[in-house]
Amino acid sequence: MRENETIICRCEDITLEEIRACIREGYQTIDEIKRVTRAGMGPCQGRTCRLLIAQELASYYHIPIEEVLMPTFRPPTKPITMGALADAWKESQGGADA
């Protein structure tokens, strides 16, 4: 398969070639790969790439996919503007702008 033309993370444009290079270098979890490549850090927050990366790890390490460690999930589930957060903070302070 032409790994450099196969997209795994659509949001961050990360290819299969980059994911496999990471795994060969010794990265063992979805979270580690996320930190070095940004795969899973885009608008969809990993909904598309998470299982594809899990499959790559499972096949490289010869383990069932059940044993691949899932990443840490944190709020927010989708991008939110700084303005929305700032408005919520102002309102909580009883500010005049709220």
Q: Which stretches of the chain bind other proteins, using CB under 8 A? A: 1-2, 5-8, 10, 13, 16, 45, 47-49, 51-52, 65-66, 68, 70, 72-78, 80-81, 83-85, 87-88, 91-92
**Min CB(26)–other proteins separation in Å:** 22
CB atoms within 10 A of CB 19: 24
Q: For other proteins, give the closer residue by CB, 26 or 79.
A: 79
Tell me which DSSP letter residue 14 carries: E
* Number of other residues whose CB lies within 10 A of the CB of residue 86: 12
Q: Output DSSP code: residue 32.
A: H
Cβ-based nearer residue to other proteins, 26 or 78: 78
The residue (of 27 and 68) whose beta carbon lies closer to other proteins is 68
Query: What is the distance between the alpha carbons of residues 53 and 48, in angstroms, rounded to a whole number?
Result: 10
